[in-house]
């Protein structure tokens, strides 16, 4: 049994992982939250006060952070959380990653890069805090939009739209690989990682299923029973923030207001498409290798089942 603190516990992914940890019935879990959270202890945390956070984290073995990057200007909250973890003698820390391997063309993730550098600097002379960057790539569950396939994670719209059989992509990116991992598999890996007796890898890639964009289109056409409308967009336009397409996915993350969603739709789409084209959603396989007995869910089986019986 270990004592685990979860920061940003009201987030979708945090709630999925919380449920997975609670189901183990073996860990002491503390939520840094403003709301009660059913069967676990919670405490009101002030992320502007590192000393108060250090007090809260006394006796904690592992901190899992889900602080939303774009809601933390200057990464102040997460830096204070890291400082507090060190002061309290926390052994392990997972920063708020939970996505791809790089953030090129995705300015909304700038805070994640800042935290990577902060942790790297912290350990530059000696290891002060053990940490791993959990990187699952793109959640496979997003491809079931508008239908939900998890308890908590909202199936946001992406440029890969299985529901309407359409996709936006950068010209010439058919051979680019993306990694698809189910939320279920991410939860299972984190549950096992908390109990893992060896040292956490610095980069914690989780390779659910890797597929090229071209093959994903073919898979979509098999699963959905018909051809996809494919719009190949010019990289130069996208780098300039111009999206010349017949449709735009909404930036409909729960942390973004409807008004912000409308404003951000084009820049979000341009950034995501360019990021995908340079491999942002291709991840490594550190946790696969550390957990060789774990069998990951593959895209074809998951998506076939998810879309079975749905209207074409």
- The predicted-structure confidence for 10-40, as pLDDT tens digits, reads as follows 889 999 999 999 999 999 999 997 555 555 7
Report the alpha-carbon distance of residue 189 to residue 186 in Å, rounded: 5
Q: Mind listing the pLDDT tens digit for each residue in 263-289? A: 678 999 999 999 999 999 999 999 999
The candidate with the shortest Cα–Cα distance to 285, out of 176, 204, 211, is 204
Tell me, yes or no, whether 162 and 83 share the same domain: no
Q: What percent of the chain has pLDDT over 70?
A: 93
153 contacts 139 by C-beta, under 8 angstroms: yes
Report the C-alpha dihedral over residues 83, 186, 199, 291, rounded to 10 degrees: 180
Instruction: Please state the three-class secondary structure of 227-281 as a single string.
Output: CCEEEEECHHHHHCCCCCCCCCCCCCCCCCCHHHHHHHHHHHHHHHHHHHHCCCC
Quote the domain boundaries for residue 241.
138-180+209-283+291-307
Tell me, yes or no, whether 9 and 52 share the same domain: yes
Q: What is the CATH number of the domain that holds 58?
A: 3.40.50.720
Tell me, yes or no, whether 162 and 276 share the same domain: yes
Q: What is the CATH number of the domain that holds 245?
A: 3.90.25.10
Tell me, yes or no, whether 56 and 148 share the same domain: no
42 contacts 56 by C-beta, under 8 angstroms: no
Cα separation values, 117 from 8, 29, 95, 121, Å: 21, 28, 11, 6
273 contacts 213 by C-beta, under 8 angstroms: no
The candidate with the shortest Cα–Cα distance to 166, out of 216, 211, 212, is 216
Tell me, yes or no, whether 8 and 110 share the same domain: yes
- pTM value is 0.94
Last residue of a domain, one of 96, 131, 166: 131
Residues 6 or more apart whose Cβ sits within 8 Å of residue 65: 7, 8, 78, 81, 93, 94, 95, 96
Average pLDDT for the chain: 94
The candidate with the shortest Cα–Cα distance to 56, out of 87, 15, 97, 21, is 87
Number of structural domains the chain divides into: 2
Counting every residue written for the chain, the total comes to 312
Tell me, yes or no, whether 150 and 61 share the same domain: no
Residue 214 in tokens: 């071209």
- Give, as one character, the DSSP assignment of residue 91: -
Check residue 228 and give its pLDDT. Answer: 98
Angle between helices 183-195 and 12-24 (to 10 degrees): 50
Residues 6 or more apart whose Cβ sits within 8 Å of residue 4: 21, 27, 28, 29, 30, 60, 61, 62, 63, 64, 194
Last residue of a domain, one of 131, 157, 189: 131
Tell me, yes or no, whether 151 and 93 share the same domain: no
Q: Mind listing the pLDDT tens digit for each residue in 60-116? A: 999 999 999 888 999 999 999 999 999 999 999 999 999 999 999 999 999 999 999
Tell me, yes or no, whether 158 and 271 share the same domain: yes
Check residue 259 and give its pLDDT. Answer: 62
Whether 202 is in a domain gets the answer no
pLDDT top residue among 6 and 259: 6
Check residue 154 and give its pLDDT. Answer: 87
Last residue of a domain, one of 131, 146, 172: 131
Kindly tell me if the per-residue pLDDT of 247 is higher than 80. Answer: yes
Kindly list the strands in the beta sheet with 130-131, ordered across the sheet, starting from the edge strand earlier in the chain: 41-43, 28-32, 3-7, 62-65, 92-94, 130-131
Tell me, yes or no, whether 94 and 147 share the same domain: no
């Amino acid at each position: 049994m270990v004592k685990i603190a979860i920061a940003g516990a009201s987030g979708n992914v945090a709630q999925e992982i919380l449920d997975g940890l609670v189901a183990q019935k073996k860990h002491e879990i503390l939520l840094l939250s403003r709301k009660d959270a059913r069967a676990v202890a919670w405490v009101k945390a002030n992320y502007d006060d590192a000393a108060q956070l250090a007090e809260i984290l006394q006796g904690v073995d592992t901190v899992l952070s889900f602080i939303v990057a774009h809601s933390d200007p200057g990464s102040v909250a997460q830096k204070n959380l890291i400082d507090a973890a060190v002061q309290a003698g926390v052994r392990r820390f997972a920063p708020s990653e939970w996505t791809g391997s790089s953030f090129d063309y995705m300015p909304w993730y700038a805070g994640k890069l800042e935290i990577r550098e902060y942790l790297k600097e912290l350990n530059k002379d000696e290891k002060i805090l053990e940490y791993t960057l959990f990187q699952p790539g793109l959640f496979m569950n997003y491809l079931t939009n508008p239908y939900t396939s998890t308890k908590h994670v909202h199936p946001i719209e992406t440029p890969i739209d299985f529901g309407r059989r359409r996709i936006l992509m950068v010209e010439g990116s058919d051979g680019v690989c993306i990694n698809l991992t189910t939320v279920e598999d991410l939860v299972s890996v984190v549950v096992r990682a908390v109990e893992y007796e060896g040292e956490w890898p610095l980069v914690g890639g989780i390779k659910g299923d890797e597929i090229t964009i071209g093959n994903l289109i073919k898979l979509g056409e098999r699963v959905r029973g018909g051809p996809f409308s494919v719009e190949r967009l010019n990289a130069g336009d996208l780098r300039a923030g111009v999206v010349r397409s017949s449709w735009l996915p909404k930036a409909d993350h729960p942390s973004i207001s409807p008004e912000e969603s409308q404003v951000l739709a084009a820049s979000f789409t341009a950034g995501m498409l360019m990021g995908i084209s340079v491999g942002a959603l291709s991840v490594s396989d550190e946790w696969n290798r550390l957990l060789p007995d774990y069998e990951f869910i593959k895209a074809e089986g998951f998506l076939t089942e998810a879309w079975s019986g749905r209207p074409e």
